[in-house]
Structure 1
Amino acid sequence: MTNSVLKTELAIIQAPMAGVQNAKLAVAVCEAGGLGSLPCAMLSAELLKSELDYLSQHTDKPYNLNFFCHQTSDYTLAQQTAWHNLLTPYFDEFAVDVSQFTRNASRQPINQQIIDIIAPYTPAVVSFHFGLPSREIVSQIKAWGGTVLSSATTLDEARWLQANGADAVIAQGIEAGGHRGHFLSMDLSLQPTTAQLVRECVELDIPVIAAGGICTAEDVAQYQALGVAAVQVGSAYLLCEEATTSALHREVLKTVAPDSTELTTLFSGRPARGISNRVMQELGAMPEQAPPFPYASIAMTALRAKAEAKGDSGFSPLWCGERFIVREGINAQQITRLLMQGWQS
């Protein structure tokens, strides 16, 4: 039986996870019957084409391309100076050369050039984080038959997405790993749990996809009972064979104590959930000196590279949801099928 929203056999989306996956994981989930996703926000035009070629050559099933819709603000010299002053002890410790740092955004929101690249591939689903792009871009996606999804972290955001062209809403609870998708308000106190948010959103006249803290078949059953059209799962795939999760990240995932994640702005400038590590503990997870998204990542990426070269994950963004179960020696198909045992068709 085909899922009416995703056009897939199974009602599950593999969450797009930049930095720990490529098209290989997306293909594996597609072939298992779910909707595999490719995170595209950090891909160059050349790499995007290469990944799209891989997808189209290795699966004929529907897949999802994910993009960001953030508004890029200025990164002033004063902001950069304050940020660098905070990080100077680490620059000294790891011999980081700050003279080469720019104030240019490393992640760009979707634009017409990107649409022109992906249009010939006619992806079945295109999803967004931080709102939606222009109506012109949404219309072009729908013109080739694409389904448009976006993340909502509050009921107000879900209503906004419904009013502005989304075909379904991804209800991202506070438990979710990686970046928060909020875009109407930066007030984190407004962010409900996945269950709370789903209960609110299913009252709207739009399909709802639950995301955040889903790691067992029982979780899937719970959200199906609440009336969702599908679930979106990310962290459960972090240790699977097809993920590109680094050896350092994998080791932390296998040894970390429960309840060890928190939201931090240190790595990009926007709140994102990851496992607490040295830099988060020493500077605080949300220091006021962190510059706006995505500029924090310029210095942090350089620090991360130096630390990881020494086997140190203390400056790495160890993205992970609030709930995580260690499953080693498992592939994406097994994870997908295991979780979907909870979905009653």
Structure 2
Amino acid sequence: MPNAMPSALHTRVQEFCQRFQLRLPILLGPMAGACPASLSIAVAEAGGLGACGALLMQPEEIAAWVAEVRANTKGVFQLNLWMPDPEPKRDAEHEAQLRSFLENWGPAVPPQAADSRPPDFAAQCEALLAANPPIVSSVMGLYPPEFVQKLKARGIRWFANISTVAEAKAAEAAGADAVVAQGMEAGGHRGCFDASLAEAQQVGLFALLPAVVDAVSIPVVATGGIGDARGVAAALMLGASAVQIGTGFLRTPEAKIVKAWADALAHTMPEQTTLSRAFSGRTGRSIATDYVKAATAPGAPAPAPYPVQRALTAAMRTDAVKAGDIQRMQAWAGQAAAMAKAEPAAQIVQKLWDDAQALLSAR
């Protein structure tokens, strides 16, 4: 890092990297369903932090992912889990309306489809402990105290994803080693502890970040709407110790997402993304596709709670991927989506940091 960089910032970033065994303060966002081992291997080899969004993975899948990453890099990675939602309230009549609506967008949805449930959370937690990763992270809440004790006993660090100052304080009090401050610009699901506030409490990253930095004593990672070196430099100037990027890596060859999604990101302007519960029942930011617009239009049936909505839309989403139809796809996208480059992930990591250093060192 150049000596011309502001000294306090240089020290803060350097201490973060040393503490978490990184060469560069660039973290891959743990995107469930879009974090193949190949992407984390590339990011970790470049000196950043790899990541696995393990929400949808069975214990054996988590173990296999970790084995593949460790076989191909000595770099650092995190495993991320989504804290379980309360048991959803079911409404057969409402679900029938949703199935009828979804038939306009994909295959017929049988009633039993809504009964699908995520993998067992307790078993996933045991898989994380067995994998013994350098870092685990949480989203949609905080790990239970007994699990936090097990992490600390093994020397596993915990990054807690937060979206408000209150959540950041709660994470620090619960024993988190760092907080990841998620601005409302971020693609994918909003990480709010209370799902009912995900749309009401929309705080932009550059308002959230300095407030969180002032409120906690642990390192703060910035995420949401960071697409190039300007965003990296600005986040560090506002007090972040590192940045986490998700959408910015989706067009890389290592991400392996379908071509229609990757191509759409390249020309998606900030205002062409939107928040909705149309895919999973939990609020998330995606491209404002024809399906999303129809599902959020007046008169459309309200989404079912998570994970019922996700189960109901599964057939449509699968069919859309097979057909390469972006208008029906679950095309998560942050507001900086158009900045994503179709370049190797390692090249992106290095350029982000080189260019950010140049900006921070400019006279």
- TM-score, structure 1 length as denominator? 0.92
DSSP-derived class of the 1:175 partner? coil
**Hey, what does 2:312 align to over in structure 1?**
299
**Corresponding residue of 2:84:** 70
1:207 aligns with 2:228: no
CA–CA distance in structure 2, aligned partners of residues 103 and 165 of structure 1: 35
> Are 1:121 and 2:135 matched, yes or no?
no
Is structure 2 residue 53 aligned with structure 1 residue 46?
A: no
Residue in structure 2 matched with residue 82 of structure 1 by the alignment: 94
Distance, in Å, in 1 between the alignment partners of 2:137 and 2:203 is: 21
Residue 174 (structure 1) shift? 0.6
Question: Is the CA contact 1:96–1:306 (under 8 Å) kept in the aligned structure 2?
Answer: no
Answer whether contact 1:266 1:280 (CA < 8 A) is retained. yes
Partner of 1:172: 182
Q: CA deviation at 1:254?
A: 2.8
Partner of residue 33, structure 1: 47
The Cα of 1:132 is off from its aligned counterpart by 1.2
Asked if structure 2 preserves the Cα contact closer than 8 Å seen for 1:20 and 1:246, the reply is: no
Could you say which residue in structure 2 is the equivalent of 1:237? 249
Alignment of 1:212-227 (within 5 A): 212-227=224-239
What amino acid maps onto 1:12 in structure 2? I
Aligned in 2, Cα 1:234/1:285: closer, same or farther, shift over 3 Å? farther
CA contact (8 A) 1:75 1:103 kept: no
Counterpart in 1 of 2:10? Answer: none
CA deviation vs aligned residue, 1:249-273 (integer Å, no higher than 9, x gap): 1122234344200111011111000
Call closer, same or farther: CA 1:200–1:185 in 2, change over 3 Å: farther
CA contact (8 A) 1:21 1:245 kept: no
Same amino acid, percent of matched pairs:
29
Instruction: Determine which structure has the larger helix proportion and give its number.
Output: 2
1:18 paired to 2:32: yes
> SS of 2:327's equivalent?
coil
Q: Equivalent residue for 1:193? A: 204
One-letter identity of the residue aligned with 1:233: I
1:136 to 134, 143, 146: 146
Q: Tell me, which stretches of 5 or more residues in structure 2 are unaligned? A: 1-13
Query: Is the 2:250–2:340 Cα contact (8 Å) retained in structure 1?
Result: no
- Deviation of residue 75 (structure 1)? 4.2
C-alpha deviation, 1:94, in angstroms: 3.5
- Alpha-carbon separation, structure 1, partners of 2:130 and 2:320: 41
Q: Is the 8 A contact 2:183 2:203 kept in 1?
A: yes
Q: Which residue does the alignment assign to 1:149?
A: 159
Post-superposition shift, 1:340? 1.3
Amino acid at match of 2:20: L
Q: Output the CA distance in 2 between the equivalents of 1:294 and 1:90.
A: 16
Q: 2:277 aligns with which of 255, 260, 265?
A: 265
Alpha carbons of structure 1 residues 159 and 218: separation in structure 2 relative to 1, 3 Å: same
Task: Give the conservation status (yes or no) of the 8 Å contact 1:265–1:285.
Answer: no
What residue is the counterpart of 2:335 in the other structure?
Answer: 322
Counterpart residue identity of residue 200, structure 2 = S
Q: Is the 8 A contact 2:97 2:301 kept in 1?
A: no
C-alpha displacement of 1:139: 1.2
**What is the Cα-based RMSD across aligned positions, in Å?**
2.2
For the residues of structure 2 that align with 1:283 and 1:121, how far apart are their CA atoms?
40
Distance 1:93 1:250, change over 3 A: closer
Equivalent pair of 2:186/2:333 in contact (CA under 8 Å) = yes
Output the amino acid matched with 1:128. S
For residues 317 and 94 of structure 1, do their structure 2 counterparts lie closer, same or farther at Cα, with a shift above 3 Å needed?
closer
Structure 2 residue matching 1:268: 3-state secondary structure: coil
Q: What's the CA shift string for 1:125-167, capped at 9, x where partnerless?
A: 1001011121111111121111101111111111111111111
* Contact 2:23 2:48 survives alignment (8 Å): yes
Task: Please give the secondary structure, in 1, of the residue aligned with 2:159.
Answer: strand
Question: Which secondary structure does the structure 1 equivalent of 2:141 belong to?
Answer: coil
Q: Which amino acid aligns with 2:251?
A: L
Aligned residues: 341
Deviations along 1:29-81, whole A, 9 cap, x unmatched? 111000010111111122111111101211112210011113231342x2x43
State the TM-score, normalized to the length of structure 2.
0.87
2: CA distance between counterparts of 1:102 and 1:231?
37
| Matched-pair contact (CA < 8 Å) for 1:151–1:172 | yes
Stretches of structure 1 that go unaligned for 5 or more consecutive residues are none
Distance 1:66 1:128 in 2: 6
How big is the shift at 1:314?
Answer: 2.2
In the TM superposition, what is the alpha-carbon distance from 1:5 to its structure 2 partner? 4.4
